[in-house]
Amino acid sequence: MYDLLIIGSGPAGVSAALSAKARNLDFLWFGSRSLSGKIEKAERIMNYPGLPAVSGGEMRDAFLRQIDGLGISVLEERVNAVYDMGGYYTALVNEKMYEGRAVILATGVSGSREIPGESRLLGRGVSYCATCDGALYRGKRIAVVCTDPSLEEEVVFLAELAAEVLLFAGYKGCGVRRENVRRMEGYPTEILGEDRVAGVVCGGETAAVDGVFCLRSCVAPAALLPGLAAEGGHIQVDRQQRTNLPGCFAAGDCTGRPYQYVKAAGEGNVALHSAWDYLKAAGSTSK
Amino acid sequence: MYDLLIIGSGPAGVSAALSAKARNLDFLWFGSRSLSGKIEKAERIMNYPGLPAVSGGEMRDAFLRQIDGLGISVLEERVNAVYDMGGYYTALVNEKMYEGRAVILATGVSGSREIPGESRLLGRGVSYCATCDGALYRGKRIAVVCTDPSLEEEVVFLAELAAEVLLFAGYKGCGVRRENVRRMEGYPTEILGEDRVAGVVCGGETAAVDGVFCLRSCVAPAALLPGLAAEGGHIQVDRQQRTNLPGCFAAGDCTGRPYQYVKAAGEGNVALHSAWDYLKAAGSTSK
């Protein structure tokens, strides 16, 4: 029985693991040494304090050096499900089971209805973050896929930078009205390009673009942990990153917007401190 | 009129400023190029993702390089008070005034707690500003609570006016030496008085005084911005870092524990995104 299971190795998981190590907890950390697909493919991150204008790969390398330097290891296994056992948690990894007194979920958000070509060209013209990458497309022609009215401000932000926006709004009643925004019918069926985005295909026709922003509200996370309260696809947490289940904490994109690296890292830290308080109150850390 | 005023230059303020720049907001940022006294004095920070085992000075230098590289400037002025003008905010810096449609408070926490009776008697014998109120205590007996050596000039200024000063210096190596200044042990446990300050209690004993000056490197939140909801010395915020005042956001240590650099940085980012949403909804950014 471990003190803590940390699930996910994006910035929230990294941050939780660093503080778990600093607190000398007996923990298992599930993830990947590539840390997160989203980080890896980020083109340029301008607003992470301490890492000026890094590429996603550079951020990943900085995190890996730090983790390795502290002797923290990430278990490269994919957790299929977590169960609340009433006092502790069990994580299932295929046929294996791991037990922890507390758990931190830092699982990110899954993109819905991925467009063919999207993940292949992510970081090479495909972006999920208007704040991060918008400025790269100043004066250019871009496509924006927007699946939720709450994201229209992001579309407007991009339209203020780009010369022209082809907008694929996956809902009715889109309120974006700007001269340089062209409303498109339907949903892109493919993103084209060899080394970089060259165009999008929709309704059998191809439109040339320099970049594609995919702005989606996230889908409901898989029923990873039965009984966990979620809303709008995000795990419900309070300011201490506590979920509705005692001993279960969540951090990062899985808890909601903004989907930002430093927001996730901050929440991972808070989740760990709350897990520590929980374990101490239960008198149950191994230390 | 600026879009946004950011007050404080610890990790929360740095993070908010980086994202404000990325969003191209027209903002003013108040603080110091030493960023924060707390960072400067940190011996070794082991759990900030991306900056392995840095000293506080190294973290400060990393932040400064990033800020400078992006052409962000910090206005080295101390904000005395912020006022909610009903639709915008005014920050007072001595005799100067700055206006912003929104404000982010990232003011940190002072090492010292609010003294029981302090807020009740504020403006009735309790003061935070030697310049403003010193002359009211000419020839009188006052208590001065001073938490930072950088504020000793203020103590001397008060001692030149008052008949006698009871000085509570909350740090080692206080350099104030004057005949009419009596160094007190410990920290006041209460400020007494019905309609006006009558005395201070310390170590179980009461000393009669006409006024109490609380000189702290950061002002208690509710005193900084009248009407701001606070609890236990922390500004009350929701998960979006919104305070009870529309257009006013808060981030970092001033919003509560854990007092952690990356928690503060994460909150600064979230506060900026919420401020952005607020400004866009009001249709009021300059962009």
pLDDT digits (tens, 9 = 90+) for B29-54: 999 998 987 787 788 899 999 999 99
Spatial separation of the C-alpha atoms in residues A152 and A178, rounded to whole Å: 12
Query: Residue B111 — very low, low, confident or very high, per pLDDT cuts 50/70/90?
Result: low
The whole-number average pLDDT for the span A111-131 is 81
Q: Is the pLDDT of residue A71 over 60?
A: yes
Residue pointed to by tokens 């009903």 = B86
Q: Is the pLDDT of residue A26 over 90?
A: yes
Sign of the dihedral defined by the CA atoms of residues A244, A250, A254, A255, in that order: positive
Better-predicted residue by pLDDT, B115 or A113 = B115
Please state at what angle helix B261-281 crosses helix B11-22, rounded to 10 degrees.
Answer: 40
Residue among A14, A47, A267 whose CB faces B19 most closely: A47
State the pTM of this model: 0.75
The whole-number average pLDDT for the span A95-112 is 87
Residues in chain A: 287
* Helix-strand-coil split of chain B, %, nearest 5: 30, 25, 45
User: For A118-132, A215-229, B49-63, B244-258, which range has the lowest pLDDT when averaged over its residues?
Assistant: A215-229
Better-predicted residue by pLDDT, A122 or A174 = A174
Q: State the pLDDT at residue B134.
A: 87
Q: Which residues make Cβ contacts (< 8 Å) with residue B283, sequence separation at least 6?
A: none
Q: B8: distance to nearest CA of chain A, Å?
A: 15
The residue of B67, B254, B262, B279 whose CB has the most chain A CBs within 10 angstroms, and thus the best one to mutate to test that interface, is B262
Q: B170: distance to nearest CA of chain A, Å?
A: 28
The reply to whether residue A135 touches residue B69, judged by beta carbons under 8 angstroms, is: no
The reply to whether residue A49 touches residue B277, judged by beta carbons under 8 angstroms, is: no
Contacts of A269 in chain B (CB under 8 A): 47, 258, 260, 262-263, 266
Question: How much of chain A, in percent, has pLDDT values that exceed 90?
Answer: 66
Backbone phi, psi, residue A102, to 5°: -140, 165
User: For A14-18, B39-43, B74-78, B138-142, which range has the lowest pLDDT when averaged over its residues?
Assistant: B39-43
Contacts of A52 in chain B (CB under 8 A): 62, 65-66, 69-70
Query: Residue A110 — very low, low, confident or very high, per pLDDT cuts 50/70/90?
Result: low
Q: State the pLDDT at residue A222.
A: 46
Q: Is the pLDDT of residue B269 over 80?
A: yes
Query: Residue A118 — very low, low, confident or very high, per pLDDT cuts 50/70/90?
Result: confident
User: For A226-230, A251-255, B72-76, B283-287, which range has the lowest pLDDT when averaged over its residues?
Assistant: B283-287
Backbone phi, psi, residue B234, to 5°: -110, 145
Judge whether A56 and A45 are in contact, CB under 8 Å. Answer: yes
Per-residue pLDDT tens over the stretch A231-255: 877 899 999 999 999 999 999 999 9
The whole-number average pLDDT for the span A41-63 is 93
Instruction: Compute the mean pLDDT over every residue in chain B, rounded to the nearest whole number.
Output: 91
Q: B120: distance to nearest CA of chain A, Å?
A: 29
Most confident of A121-130, A251-260, A275-284: A251-260
Question: How much of chain B, in percent, has pLDDT values that exceed 90?
Answer: 70
Reduce the DSSP state of residue B79 to 3 states and report it: coil
B99 forms bridges with which residues in the sheet?
B90
Q: State the pLDDT at residue A217.
A: 56
Better-predicted residue by pLDDT, B42 or A64 = A64
The whole-number average pLDDT for the span A92-121 is 85
Instruction: Compute the mean pLDDT over every residue in chain A, rounded to the nearest whole number.
Output: 90
Q: Which residues of B touch A (CB under 8 A)?
A: 11, 14-15, 18-19, 21-23, 46-53, 59, 62-63, 65-66, 69-70, 237-239, 256-258, 260, 262-270, 273, 276-277, 280, 287
What region does B50 belong to: left with phi over 0, alpha with psi -120 to 50, or beta? left
Judge whether B82 and B225 are in contact, CB under 8 Å. Answer: yes
DSSP code at position A227: T
Q: Is the pLDDT of residue A18 over 80?
A: yes
Q: Is the pLDDT of residue B159 over 90?
A: yes
The reply to whether residue A269 touches residue B239, judged by beta carbons under 8 angstroms, is: no
Q: State the pLDDT at residue A112.
A: 59
Spatial separation of the C-alpha atoms in residues B140 and A207, rounded to whole Å: 80
The reply to whether residue B46 touches residue A262, judged by beta carbons under 8 angstroms, is: no
Residue among B22, B52, B273 whose CB faces A69 most closely: B52
Spatial separation of the C-alpha atoms in residues A262 and B256, rounded to whole Å: 18
The residue of A155, A261, A267, A269 whose CB has the most chain B CBs within 10 angstroms, and thus the best one to mutate to test that interface, is A269
Spatial separation of the C-alpha atoms in residues B227 and A18, rounded to whole Å: 38
Judge whether B264 and B15 are in contact, CB under 8 Å. Answer: yes
The whole-number average pLDDT for the span B229-238 is 90
Q: Is the pLDDT of residue A220 over 50?
A: no
Better-predicted residue by pLDDT, B244 or A114 = B244
Q: Is the pLDDT of residue A286 over 60?
A: no
Q: State the pLDDT at residue A218.
A: 46
Q: State the pLDDT at residue B63.
A: 97
The whole-number average pLDDT for the span B187-212 is 95
